[in-house]
Structure 1
Amino acid sequence: MKLFEKITNPREIRRKLGLNQQEFWSRIGVTQSGGSRYESGRNMPKPVRELLRLVHVEQVDLARVRREDFEIVEYLKETHPDLYKSLRKAVRAKLDATEGSSSSESVAS
Structure 2
Amino acid sequence: MKSFEKVENIRDIRKKLGLNQIEFWSRVGVTQSGGSRYESGRNMPKPVRELLRLVHVEQIDLATVNRDDLAVAALLKERHPDLYASLKKEAKAEKK
TM-score (norm 1): 0.76
Larger CA Rg, structure 1 vs 2:
1
Cα distance between partner residues in 2 of 1:89 and 1:37: 35
The aligned length equals 96
**Residue matched to 1:107:** none
**1:46-77 CA distances to partner (integer Å, 9 max, x unpaired)?**
11111111100000000011111111122233
Aligned-residue Cα RMSD (Å) equals: 1.7
**Residue matched to 1:88:** 88
Distance 1:62 1:77, change over 3 A: same
**1:76-108 CA distances to partner (integer Å, 9 max, x unpaired)?**
33444454344334333433xxx2xxxxxxxxx
Distance 1:89 1:2, change over 3 A: closer
Structure with greater proportional helix content: 1
Partner SS for 2:69: helix
In structure 1, list runs of 5 or more residues that go unmatched: 100-109
TM-score (norm 2): 0.86
Matches within 5 A, 1:18-97: 18-95=18-95
Distance 1:64 1:44, change over 3 A: same
Distance 1:85 1:37, change over 3 A: closer
In structure 2, list runs of 5 or more residues that go unmatched: none
- 1:39 Cα deviation after fit: 0.8
Distance 1:82 1:45, change over 3 A: closer
Give the letter aligned to residue 19 of structure 1: L
Distance 1:44 1:85, change over 3 A: closer
